[in-house]
Amino acid sequence: MGGASLFYEEEAQTGLAMKNIHHYMMANLDLLSKKLIFFTVNEGDQHWSGWAAVNPWVQIARVLYEHAKAEGEESTFKDYADYSSFANGLIACDGLFTKGERHARCWIWSPNLASAYHDMDILRKVSFFYI
């Protein structure tokens, strides 16, 4: 019975985390328009580290332009062609360990989720999305 109890406790924690993420995204629908987005990580209740996403919208604009260019429709996103001169990316801040690409992968979902919430807001569908 102890294993089942642990399972339900983990399910409850996951549900609470998803609900908190949902509330945060609902309150910050303009998240991708920010120049800097800060994330903190508590690693095993023993160590804190942080990340900064720099100009996340630049990468989205760059990808949209490159896809349109590959399809011969770069005029659709011609305003995005100049964004290649803007700095963007993820910066790790950890005084104990060096963080690299492998560690950054877990943060890629966040701008993707912010983009989905933004799109749902534009389409006036975000109010139908409940957790």
pLDDT in tens, 9-46: 555 566 667 787 777 878 877 887 888 888 887 777 88
What pLDDT is attached to residue 65? Answer: 81
Burial class of residue 95 (count of CB atoms within 10 Å of its CB; 0-12, 13-18, 19+): exposed
pLDDT for 129:
67
pLDDT given for residue 6 in this prediction: 47
pLDDT at 10: 58
Q: Is 79 left (phi over 0), alpha (psi -120 to 50) or beta?
A: alpha
How confident is the model at residue 86, as a pLDDT? Answer: 82
CA distance 131 to 127: 11
Low-confidence ranges of the chain (pLDDT < 70): 1-16, 106, 129-131
DSSP of 1-40: -HHHHHHHHHHHHHHHHHHHHHHHHHHTTTGGG-SEEEEE
**Which pLDDT score is estimated for 31?**
80
Domain that holds residue 62: 2-128
**Stated pTM of the model:** 0.64
**Per-residue confidence (pLDDT) for residue 79, from 0 to 100:** 76
Q: What is the pLDDT of residue 9?
A: 56
pLDDT for the residue 46: 82
Q: Of the candidates 26, 21, 58, which has an alpha carbon nearest to the alpha carbon of residue 39?
A: 21
Domains in the chain, number: 1
